[in-house]
Structure 1
Amino acid sequence: MKNTRILSRLVLCVFLLGVGGACRDKKTPPAARQEVETIGLIAGQRLMCGAPEQQFGTVRFPVACRAELQADFALGLKLLHSFEYEEAEKVFAAILRQQPDCAMAYWGVAMSSFHPLWTPPSEPELRKGAKALAAARALAQPSPREADYLATVAAFYQDWPTVDHHTRCRRFEDASAALAGKYPHDTEAATFYALALTAAADPADTTFAKQKKAGAILKALYPKNPDHPGIVHYIIHAYDAPPLAHLALLAARRYAAVAPSSAHALHMPSHIFTRLGLWDECITSNAASAASARCYAQQTGIVGHWDEELHSVDYLMYAYLQKGDNQRAERQRRYLATITEVHPVTFKVAYAFAAIPARYVLENKRWAEAAALQSHPANFAWETFPWQRAIIHFTRLLGAVHTDNPSAAQAELRELERLHARLLQQKDQYKANQVYIQLTAGQAWLQWQAGHPTEAVQRMTLAADLEDQTEKHPVTPSEVVPARELLGDMLLQLKRPAAALAAYEADLQKHPNRLNGLYGAGVAAAQAGRATIARQYYSQLLASARPSGAPRPELAVAQRFLARQ
């Protein structure tokens, strides 16, 4: 125990040296209140929308702070577990202004600036987290358990100016494993270890080893903690992959009821609903989340819209398209066109601005509109987001190919090559790979247009194989068009229905109940003379896609086929 305590203090000391601090003598601490004011904490009234009772779940985590602040700390922790980072920081900041020597409130600030499963922290966020930990280190020695918690998050911030984000996430994972091992009966230690595992997972690892380990930890915790927001939330993240999603359905249906006052808790279940093709539940989830996000923007005085709203609108667009509900999908597209200001301007915002209109035209195969798709808003910082910008150029490329405009398609291909090179230069391998898949698919369709079917199928197969080897980013409900579905479309064009059916069936394993996947499988099976299989896919299509307005033409084709049978 003594050695462990010394190690915890040593980790904090090393961290402080890395950020320019020093391991100061506990007998001469600085003025704690002055330290709090230098951190740059978010202040102000806590603003939330949703259930009026402000329900965020239940946690039990006593800390060595004044008794009257225990409930506030628990609230900050619950907000942290639902990724309400700004509001969580407000809670921890308020605690520090009342009790500047509450060590775990500094831990809360550092965790609020980390946000493990979102985009990496910005430099100001990293500085804030580092300052918070430095202030905590300047206090009198906290309890051994609290010192270990501080050392665990310090492992992430250590050497942040010179060490890359993924390496520091791996450090946090290792430190979290040690913390959970040292305190085997500590629910929070185990929960944060599961989060650390998922955050450090390699998106190219299709065995999902770390996610499975995280899910097993959380599943073991759940029976005794059914209202813990972090446990149900992180189960969803751990199993947010096609072969695992069914394991998170109970948590997905539980999370919104556990924390109905969190916009993220209202949205997050839709990740699993989307993976399983449960479109009605996905729509309900994101309609509630978007409404909560609009409320939050109004309460906080945001000029324009909050970024969480656009994230929900993208999922709504996707679900409406899979229902064949073009009427409501069109409303989302028109609504997005009215939005010009969003706060904060994040990768989620850029993705939604690019993907929402692209999905609409590509899923409906409106090729002329796809070829002419414009970036919206025009004054948006698109060069800052090359992956998202690539979606627009990929959409134009497919539109140009299908409207027989090879020169325009070649121009879009060159733009994809430029964006791919830029991402490689930025050492963003994951996003570079995503653009490379689009680039490869674009080359395939240009070969198809030029009358080279063998080369076209080879390139399109390569794109589909590459996409299968890498999991989609959590920001998206799905690729704007799955590459293997595009392969099926190409094979149908080439009068190879049996091969097309195999491609559609393989894609439906990853994207169940996709309208175009089910329809394509039905068409391919019918053309291949496999009427029984065609009936199965057309029946599944009509059961899954039930629009409230005028149906898509594909549904009419399915109905006519089944009537003839």
Structure 2
Amino acid sequence: MSALPAPCLATATNPRGWRRQPLLQGGLQLGLVLGLSLQLAASTAPPSESLATASAPRLLGFGDATQRRIVSSSPLAQAWFNQGLQQAFAFDEIEARRAFSAALAADPRCSMCAWGLAWQHGPSYNSRVRGDLGEARRYARLAQQLSLAHREAPLERALAEAMLERLQEGDVAKLPAATLAVLEACGPDTTESRQVHPLDRVFERRMRILSEMFPKDPELLAWWAEALFVIHPEPSGLDALWAGLSSRLLQGVALHPQHTGLIHYLSHAADSSADAPRAINAVQNLQHLAPASPHLQHMSSHLLVKLGRYAEAVQANQRGLAAQAQLDRQLQTQGFTAGINWNPHNQRFLWIAAQLGGDLKTSLAMAEQLAAEAPDGEWGDFLRGLPWLTLVHFERWRDILARPKSDGVSPPLLAHARGLARLRLGLLADARADVALLEHHLDEESRSSQERKPARVAFATLLLAPLQAEQAWSRGDAPAALATLREALRLEADMSPSEPPLWAASAQRGLGQMLLRTRERAAAIAAFEADLQAFPANQAARVGLAAAQALPR
């Protein structure tokens, strides 16, 4: 395929005044062209919302140093754009849209203000499913139309056309030749790529090229990182890719140590690589750079849990909860409704971190709060069972049996906690009904045709396995007890990881505890060491490892 021309980008000016690196040959081959407007231009319908009356709350403390100079003669539009940028990098699309709308109202000719709205109405790291993109497409068309008038800003035009290209409608096979050329350069069609919309793959390649052309531009690097996360939401099997992104982001943060977008994406990239120790200091700096952001206050806890620094992870989420309360008050004071509420995510992370750190008081208090605030439905039934799971984790067997039953708790989860407590206290006959209920639940999940059946079957097995192992142990069949727990360990490994973990239980730890009882020193040590590799320095595994090492050789 012949190279496609890129005449405007080849002479693009850098809006930050840095010396631009030579245009990469790969960029020429991929044809990052500004001629796309000839193929993508369409009648620009006015956005559905009234921009003339658009308003937004004034919000400070979300990364005020994160700013980008745009083509606009309005200082107000520039200020609102910067606020939208900060909110977008804090993953608050509601506040980002408000700010970008206010920016466009202040300067209706601002291409990047319209681009920001297209960006925040389109696919993102937390919303990768391409649903109704009508609003995003309208703003992308507006941004592209406005960019044509700014001949002195070819980079803004390139961004506008890349966004409009991403949001095209129709049959992929009928896309413009320039788009198909980039899609072909993205590599062969694979099982993974077929799960991603081809135009998101094209957009990622466009952002990568722009970030390589302007390597000192922090927003371009951040936008490429997000585009990459959209097409590769799971790091499994992509360790080299994630490590490469993490290294690029570390370099970007070294140049721009106060850029909240770069640091935020670094926290996600390093969470999936071996770079957590190198990234943690920069990520922890978010607490000072964005003190008002509930999400950015929390973000360091992802890496802190990976590093076994659980008390600090608890504190990070406590800061996030306090920031959410302050943000809600600030919005109310300015006459705006509350937007995104990060409390459920931060609360669950706090609960998990406290458990892994061995802090019963904090973990149980947060579990009780989550249970009290749980919504209706299956997920709420699970959350209402968190106090029971907490007591299981800390092996508070008598507290479990003394705890009154409450409505709305998942019956299998309740049977898991009460049945295990009865078995560990030697109340074998009393536990039979709990075991029977869990066996019936597993049978139902195995026969169902529900979505995510393998994960549901695995979870049902993990609830039942410890009870079956205890029953086997009570009748003197240690090999059967160990076999049951090893099968549970296999199923746990097959479950998709969640962030935070669904619960702090570990089949690996349960196996280690049973090996302690069978006095198999080497195998017990190996089991606890494996658990510590997954969750460094977690208190339960540390205690188990010490007990295993004390066994006679």
Q: Give the alignment's TM-score, normalised by structure 2.
A: 0.74
- Kept in 1, the 8 Å contact 2:71–2:110? The answer is yes
Match of 1:46 in 2: 57
In structure 2, the partner of 1:24 is: 42
State whether residues 501 and 521 of structure 1, in contact with CA within 8 Å, keep that contact through their aligned partners in structure 2.
yes
- Structure 1 199/4 Cα, relative in aligned 2: closer, same or farther at 3 Å? closer
Q: Using the alignment, how far apart are the partners of 1:100 and 1:132 within structure 2?
A: 12
Identity %: 22
1:98 lines up with 2:98 in the alignment = no
1:41, 1:525 → 2: CA distance?
Answer: 71
- Matches of 2:55 and 2:90, distance apart in 1: 20
The 1-side partners of 2:365 and 2:482 are apart by 36
Over 3 Å counting, the alpha-carbon distance change for 1:440 and 1:81 in structure 2 is same
* Amino acid across the alignment from 1:36: P
Q: Which runs of structure 2 are paired with 1:227-266 in the superposition (5 Å)?
A: 227-241=258-272, 243-266=274-297
RMSD: 4.1
| Residues 1:461 and 2:464 aligned together | no
Residues 1:283 and 2:306 aligned together? no
1 CA distance for matches of 2:413 and 2:170?
Answer: 35
Instruction: Output the CA distance in 2 between the equivalents of 1:304 and 1:83.
Output: 15
The residue number in structure 2 matching 1:201 is 232
Query: What residue is the counterpart of 1:128 in the other structure?
Result: 135
Provide the C-alpha distance between the structure 2 equivalents of 1:453 and 1:319, rounded to a whole number of angstroms. 32
The one of 149, 152, 158 equivalent to 2:159 is 149
Partner AA of 2:542 in structure 1: L
Aligned to 1:438: 459
Query: CA–CA distance in 1 between the matches of 2:107 and 2:508?
Result: 57
* Cα offsets for 1:212-267 (capped at 9, x unmatched): 12101111112220111111111111111474422321122212112222111111
Q: Secondary structure at the match of 1:203?
A: coil
Correspondence 1:180-219 to 2 at 5 A: 180-201=211-232, 203=234, 205-206=236-237, 208-219=239-250
Structure 2 segments unaligned to the other structure (5+ residues): 1-5, 8-30, 173-192, 423-427
What is the 5 A alignment of 1:424-435?
Answer: 425-426=450-451, 434-435=455-456
1:66 maps to 2:96: no
- Displacement of 1:410 in angstroms is 4.3
- Is 2:522 aligned against 1:498? yes
How far off is 1:316 after superposition?
2.3
Contact 1:5–1:144, Cα closer than 8 Å, also in 2: no
1:73 and 1:95 in contact (8 A); partners too:
yes
The residue number in structure 2 matching 1:112 is 120
Amino acid at match of 1:98: A
Partner amino acid, structure 2, of 1:146:
E
| TM-aligned CA deviation for residue 484 of structure 1 | 1.6
Contact 2:320–2:346, Cα closer than 8 Å, also in 1: yes
The 5 A counterparts of 1:331-480 are 331-339=365-373, 353=383, 356-357=386-387, 359-366=389-396, 378=408, 393-394=412-413, 396-397=415-416, 399-403=418-422, 404=428, 405-415=431-441, 425-426=450-451, 434-442=455-463, 444-445=465-466, 447-451=468-472, 453-454=478-479, 456-465=481-490, 467-468=492-493, 472-474=497-499, 476=500, 479-480=503-504
Separation in 1, partners of 2:530, 2:101: 51
| C-alpha distance in 1 between matches for 2:404 and 2:271 | 32
After TM superposition, give the deviation of residue 207 of structure 1 in Å.
5.3
In structure 1, distance between residues paired with 2:337 and 2:398: 34
- Match of 1:226, SS state, is coil
The superposition leaves residues 89-123 of structure 1 with CA deviations (integer Å, 9 ceiling, x where unpaired) of 11101112222332222221232234633244584
| CA spacing shift, 1:182–1:331, aligned 2, 3 Å | same
298, 312, 316: which is aligned to 2:346? 312
Give the AA of the match of 1:148: A
Letter paired with 2:262: I
| Deviations 1:265-291, CA, capped at 9 Å, x for gaps | 111111111111212322221111101
1:529 aligns with 2:552: yes
- Work out whether residues 78 and 103 of structure 2, in 8 Å CA contact, stay in contact via their aligned partners in 1: no
C-alpha distance in structure 1 between counterparts of 2:530 and 2:434, whole Å: 32
Indicate the residue corresponding to 1:4 in structure 2.
32
Is this contact kept in 2: 1:482–1:507, CA < 8 A? yes
For 1:322 and 1:504, locate their aligned partners in 2 and report how far apart those are by CA, in whole Å: 14
- Counterparts of 1:109 and 1:4, CA distance in 2: 23
- Residues 221-232 of structure 1 correspond to what in structure 2 (within 5 A)? 221-232=252-263
How many angstroms apart in 2 are the aligned matches of 1:132 and 1:101? 12
Q: Structure with the greater relative contact order (CA < 8 A, sep ≥ 6): 1 or 2?
A: 1
Amino acid of the residue matched to residue 361 of structure 1? L
Q: Secondary structure of the residue that 1:277 maps to in structure 2?
A: coil
Does structure 1 conserve the Cα–Cα contact (< 8 Å) formed by 2:63 and 2:290?
A: yes
2:55 and 2:195 map into 1 onto residues whose CA distance is 30
Confirm or deny: 8 A CA contact 1:485 1:507 kept in the other structure.
yes
Question: CA offsets per residue over residues 491-522 of structure 1, 9 Å max, x none?
Answer: 33444343222111111012012111111112
- Other-structure match for 1:321: 355
Q: Which amino acid aligns with 2:362?
A: R
Q: Whole-Å Cα distance in 1 between the matches of residues 419 and 170 of structure 2?
A: 45
Whole-Å separation in 1 of the counterparts to 2:535 and 2:469: 25
Change (3 A) 1:165 1:105: farther
Contact 2:67/2:85 (8 A) holds in 1: no
Query: In structure 2, how many angstroms separate the alpha carbons of the residues matched to 1:215 and 1:241?
Result: 9
Count residues with an aligned counterpart.
486
Q: Deviations over 1:307-345 (max 9, x none)?
A: 312222222223333443323333323333442579xx9
Assess if the C-alpha contact under 8 Å between 1:438 and 1:463 holds in 2.
no
Residue of structure 1 equivalent to 2:178? none
Taking a change above 3 Å as real, the CA distance of residues 67 and 337 of structure 1, as seen in their structure-2 partners, is same
Q: Is the 8 A contact 2:114 2:142 kept in 1?
A: yes
Residue in structure 1 matching 2:544, options 520, 524, 537: 520
What is the CA–CA distance in structure 1 between the aligned matches of 2:252 and 2:394, rounded to whole Å? 44
Give the whole-Å Cα distance in 1 for the aligned partners of 2:403 and 2:128. 30
Instruction: Give the corresponding residue for 1:487.
Output: 511
Give the Cα separation in 2 of the matches to 1:366 and 1:290. 28
User: Partner amino acid for 2:293?
Assistant: S
Query: SS in structure 2 opposite 1:513?
Result: coil
Could you report, residue by residue, the CA deviation over 1:418-476 in whole angstroms, capped at 9, with x for unpaired residues?
A: 56887x754x5xxx5544442443454354245265455345334434545677323x1
Give the letter aligned to residue 265 of structure 1. Answer: L
Q: Which amino acid aligns with 2:316?
A: S
Structure 1 unmatched runs, 5+: 14-22, 383-388, 531-565
Q: CA deviation at 1:47?
A: 6.2
